[in-house]
Amino acid sequence: MFGNDIVMGLPMSKQKRTANRFGLGVAALAVLVAGACVVEGKVDEGENDPLRDGTASSLPAAVAPSGYPGAPGLGDSFYPQLGNGGYDVLHYAIQLDVDPIPNTIQAQTTIIAAATQDLSAFNLDLAGLTVESVLVNDNDAEFSRQDTELTITPDATLLQGEEFSTKVTYSGSPMPLSDPGVPFSEIGWHNREGLIYTASEPSGSMSWFPSNNHPTDKATFEIQITVPSTFTAAASGVLVNETQSARRTTTTWQMDDPMATYLTAVYVGDFERVENRQADGLLIRDYVPREHFDVVVDALAETPQMIEYFEGILGPYPYAVYGSVVMPFPLGYALENQTLSLPALDTIDPLIVAHEISHQWIGNSSTVDDWSEIWLHEGFATYLTSMYLAEHHGQDINEDMRRNYAFMSEPAAVAPQQISQGQLFDASVYLRGALTLHALRQFVGDDLFTTILRTHYQQSINANTNTAEFLAIVRRLANQEAADLVEQWLNNALMPPLPPPLTPPPNLNQSP
């Protein structure tokens, strides 16, 4: 995410002053990334396990194989109740029949999952809406709801290792949610006078589909969306089918690479689809608001060059398609929805367009395993963007870092790994996160720095990662001293000294 005010924790007047100092046009906004760090197995599910307390042998034989309920959360440091234990989702098939005015959906989400324990019951995360029925393996299942937990009790125990399907039929008027990590905006499903977009980081996807809502459980997706034919719909992934009947248009989108729930996007509005192909064949399709066509097409013209630049550093673009859906109004932020970023009229300058593109590698494919690790998304995206702007816009990266450093020297500033939930998108994870990488680069040199970035990404493609894994790479490829330096930047209350300028102002792609 990128916000026009990254500096959430400071008074607005100071935020504005800072934005001007940065000369960003749009100051950074911090978007939400949810990387939950707790792997399912890390949560102690044993509390509910009648087989674990030694009494199993005394239970009647008929009780022993009944399994036990999956945990209602995965124990994320900031969002302990997000996600659910006891199963691993493999695939979501979401069908949405949408009436943008007055914002109603009739929907069905089918989830293919594998049980990771014997399950007597399990949870999905869903906020609002009316659940009409739940089928597990095509049989009616009992369900109940409390807050954002949808608890499902199948008619027979699901055995560990078993693949099973859950079909939830639901309807209503999806509404955006408030999230303690995102004090500056509601998140999830938004409808502005019939124009629909989803901005869900970190918890908002449960405003429109039931899921295991934590980035540690990525899955493939198929999204089918039906809208009145006067509207255009778009969603994450590749458009594989389009049909029309009775003045309604149905489009089907496939995301065959793993995707975290928070990055799953749908859009409905009055857009024109603009297609381009990169030299290597990558399809770039943007959805442009007709009334701002020329200015938006111009603003997105650098997209292929940005993708090529990040490919040069990190490796091939991770997905089959890319593009942006640009909102025809100011939004204050942009978000890296997978394969289909969400910017707006006020967030399409090169700084932000490049930031969201870099997230397709770092954040979307390589995703944190706990939301408290978010600097790994935002610090990387901020630094990679500074590198791009140095390469292609002649911006001085030393000056960028000097400004970041001056701003992070404010007494109230927090270290990137010392943030609280309410500081999820604090300026620190962006600016001091980027300074951390800058200091590492200055310490190890351009060649080794590039190797470290690429190794970090390539070890976590389509998977999850964390700071400990990053530090292990730094230690292995450089040395303990370099890893210690990174740790100080991430954790010390007192920020280490600004590293000396890189000379000559560097350009990683030209380094030998």
What lies within 8 Å, CB to CB, of 144 at 6+ separation is: 150, 151
Smallest distance, Zn ion to C-beta of residue 336, A: 6
Nearer to Zn ion, 214 or 355 (CB): 355
Q: For residue 117, give the amino acid letter.
A: Q
SS3 271: strand
Q: Per the structure block, which two tokens stand in for 200?
A: 């869900």
- Residue whose CB is less far from Zn ion, 258 or 343: 343
Which tokens in the block code for residue 330?
A: 């100011």
Picking from 220, 176, 183, the residue whose alpha carbon sits closest to that of residue 200 is 176
Please say which residue, 378 or 400, places its beta carbon nearer to Zn ion: 378
What distance in Å separates the CA atoms of residue 232 and residue 251, rounded to the nearest whole number?
9
When the beta carbons of 29 and 168 are compared against Zn ion, the nearer one is 29
| Window 335-374: contact mask with Zn ion (x via CB under 5 A) | ----------------------------------------
Q: Does 223 contact Zn ion by CB under 5 A?
A: no
Interatomic CA distance for residues 141 and 138, integer angstroms:
9
User: 142: which residues sit within 8 A by CB, 6+ positions away?
Assistant: 134, 152, 153
Task: Judge whether 164 and 115 are in contact, CB under 8 Å.
Answer: yes
Q: Are the C-beta atoms of 25 and 346 separated by less than 8 Å?
A: no
Q: Based on CB atoms, which residue is closest to Zn ion, 36 or 89?
A: 36
Strand residues in 128-192 grouped as ranges (E): 130-136, 139-140, 142-146, 149-153, 163-172, 188-192
For Zn ion, the closer of residues 268 and 340 by Cβ is 340
Give the residue carrying structure tokens 């894994």: 469
Q: How far is the CB of 357 from Zn ion (least distance, A)?
A: 11
Q: CB-wise, 1 or 288, nearer to Zn ion?
A: 1
Site for Zn ion in 465-494 (CB under 5 A): none
- CA distances to 29, 176, 426 from 2, in Å: 4, 19, 11
| Nearest distance in Å: CB 434, Zn ion | 11
37 binds Zn ion (CB under 5 A): no
Closer of 1 and 82 to Zn ion (Cβ): 1
Least distance in angstroms from the C-beta of 414 to Zn ion: 18
Region from 48-56, 210-218, 380-388, 467-475 binding Zn ion, contact rule CB under 5 A? 380-388
- Closest C-alpha among 186, 77, 183 to residue 419: 77
- Least separation in angstroms between residue 51's CB and Zn ion is 44
Nearer to Zn ion, 40 or 346 (CB): 346
The neighbouring-strand residues paired with 162 are: none
Return d(Cα 452, Cα 230) in angstroms, integer. 49
Q: Name the one residue in this structure whose structure tokens are 């906004």.
A: 29
CB of 382 to Zn ion, least distance (A): 8
Round to whole Å and give the CA distance between 263 and 81.
Answer: 19
CB of 1 to Zn ion, least distance (A): 4
**Phi and psi at residue 506, in whole multiples of 5°?**
-85, 165
Q: Closest separation between CB of residue 343 and Zn ion, Å?
A: 12
Judged by CB under 5 A, which of 19, 374, 381, 415 binds Zn ion?
381
Fill in the per-residue mask, 54 to 83: x = in contact with Zn ion (CB under 5 A), - = not in contact: ------------------------------
CB 98 within 8 A of CB 227: yes
Q: 3-state DSSP: the chain helix, strand, coil percent, rounded to 5?
A: 30, 30, 40
Give yes or no for residue 1 binding Zn ion (CB under 5 A): yes
Closer to Zn ion by CB, 28 or 111: give it: 28
Q: How far is the CB of 7 from Zn ion (least distance, A)?
A: 14
> Smallest distance from the beta carbon of 410 to Zn ion, in angstroms?
21
To which H or E segment does residue 108 belong? strand 104-115
Select 6 or 89, whichever has its Cβ closest to Zn ion: 6
Residues that contact Zn ion, how many (by CB under 5 A): 4
Give me the least distance between CB of 326 and Zn ion, in Å please: 17
Q: Which residues lie near Zn ion (CB under 5 A)?
A: 1-2, 378, 381
